[in-house]
Amino acid sequence: MLKDIPQLKATGIAMAVIRDEEEDEWVAYILNLKENPVQKLMITSKGYGEIDGEKKETSQLRYYVENMEARNYYRLELISEEVLVLNNEFMIIYYDGDHMYDRKFIFLPDSIRPENFTSIPILNKKGILIM
């Protein structure tokens, strides 16, 4: 039965975090790097880890995006400085054609910092990128 389920790999969707200087905040984006749109994106985000030896967990946030055009992005949420020391996890489930895909992105503690910046495609800005 399991052999009948196609083992499709989620590719072409990425997460980026950039520093928005105008708002003086960190901002998380979903990027569709594919040449075709994706639909019905369901996204959850949460932070978890330890601060000063004490376990911490943020509230889980949920988002829904009906359609994301090809080679486009969606501004997801602001990330406060206080949670950058936690694991910041984003789970994305989406449809590409008739198939459902899922992908988990985790920005590790203290990884969101300027010395780790790279060029972010589509946004044409510098930030942290997970593909």
Which pLDDT score, from 0 to 100, does residue 3 have? Answer: 73
Structure tokens at 116: 């780790």
Nearest-angstrom CA–CA distance, 54 and 37: 42
Rounded to the nearest 5°, which phi and psi values hold at 2?
A: -65, -30
pLDDT of residue 8: 76
pLDDT tens for each residue of 1-53 = 667 766 778 899 999 999 988 878 999 999 999 999 999 999 999 999 999 89
Residue count (the chain): 131
**What's the CATH fold of domain 9-130?**
Immunoglobulin-like (2.60.40)
Residue with tokens 């020391």: 85
**How far apart are the two ends of the chain, measured CA to CA in Å?**
31
Paired tokens of 57: 């967990």
pLDDT in tens, 64-95: 999 999 999 999 999 998 999 999 999 999 99
* Residue 52 identity (one-letter amino acid): D
